[in-house]
Amino acid sequence: MSEQIYKTAGVTVDVVLFTIDEGVLKTLLIKRTNEPFKGLRALPGGFLQKDETSQQAANRILKNKAGVKDIYTEQLYAFDGAKRDPRGQVISITYFALTRKDDVRFEGSDIQTPKFAPVRGLAHLAFDHADIIGYALKRLQSKLEYTNVVYSLLRPKFTLTELQNAYEIILGKRLDKRNFRKKFLSLGLIAATKDYERGGKRRPALLYKFKAVKFSELKKFF
């Protein structure tokens, strides 16, 4: 005797795609073209398809809505509040992802007009998507402190100032330049290249790169 599978609830996957643009942290939002919440902005997402894992669904959504693949993604949380979807019982398995803005391609995307919007001060989003973004932001902030995920937001070669800016933008606070450099260099994650960023009337900045462009987790960090 085998128990059967009960399909009580719908399952969607929604993705919080972060990027840094114009000096602020932004997240990808689409405009809903259907009820419920027609016309409001929402996270890119969709129903889980047959024989698809939620990770695969997240990848599919990122590919379709933003033209990105092979980027850092991580499952966030399964949101299933009773009132979150007016149509009934729908669970959202959420992911967060990180990309550089100029790896994103909206061409070939659908009529939902994807756009990056600053994460701070978002209002009037569909479903519980504002909560989800808030949760994702907290997770991203804490990941910054003990992982190297920031590489996902930077050019392959970057200046230490760019690195520090990424931290400040995400954490929402200023960091001390000398202490930041000392600390980060002592972690051994990055190495100086022989190239310099020559960007105008100022001293050229030495470019660094991550020794491994791969997620890694450290005991201690920031």
Partner DNA sequence: CCAAAAGTGTTGGTTTTACACCCATGG
Partner DNA sequence: CCATGGGTGTAAAACCAACACTTTTGG
How many Cβ atoms sit within 10 Å of the Cβ of residue 70?
10
Phi/psi of residue 186, nearest 5 degrees: -70, -15
Asked if residue 176 binds DNA (CB under 7 A), the reply is yes
Is the Cβ–Cβ distance between 76 and 131 less than 8 Å?
no
Closer Cβ to DNA, 83 or 201, answer by number: 201
Asked if residue 220 binds its own copies (CB under 8 A), the reply is no
Binding mask 104-133 for DNA (x = CB under 7 A): ------------------------------
Asked if residue 144 binds DNA (CB under 7 A), the reply is no
Among its own copies, DNA, none, the one that 177 touches (CB under a kind-dependent 5 to 8 A) is DNA
Member of 39, 47, 110, 195 binding its own copies (CB under 8 A): 47
Member of 75, 177, 193, 213 binding DNA (CB under 7 A): 177
- Interacting residues of 114 by C-beta distance below 8 A, sequence separation 6+: 28, 29, 30, 44, 65, 66, 106
How many Cβ atoms sit within 10 Å of the Cβ of residue 205?
16
Tokens of 64: 């379709």
Among DNA, its own copies, none, the one that 3 touches (CB under a kind-dependent 5 to 8 A) is its own copies
Member of 50, 87, 173, 201 binding DNA (CB under 7 A): 201
Phi/psi of residue 25, nearest 5 degrees: -85, 130
Is the Cβ–Cβ distance between 64 and 15 less than 8 Å?
no
**Least distance from DNA to the Cβ atom of residue 158, Å:** 10
Residue 143 to residue 206: CA distance in whole angstroms: 26
Closer Cβ to DNA, 142 or 161, answer by number: 161
Asked if residue 88 binds DNA (CB under 7 A), the reply is no
Q: Could you tell me which stretch among 33-41, 65-73, 106-114, 117-125 binds its own copies (CB under 8 A)?
A: 33-41
User: Shortest CA distance to 10 belongs to which of 96, 95, 112, 86?
Assistant: 86
Residue 15 to residue 96: CA distance in whole angstroms: 6
Member of 39, 69, 70, 75 binding its own copies (CB under 8 A): 75
Where is 115: in which H helix or E strand? strand 115-118
Residues of the shown chain interacting with its own copies in the complex, contacts defined by CB under 8 A? 1-11, 34-36, 47-55, 75, 77-78, 80-82, 85, 87-91, 93
Where along the sequence are the contacts to DNA (CB under 7 A)?
159-161, 176-179, 181-183, 198, 200-206, 220
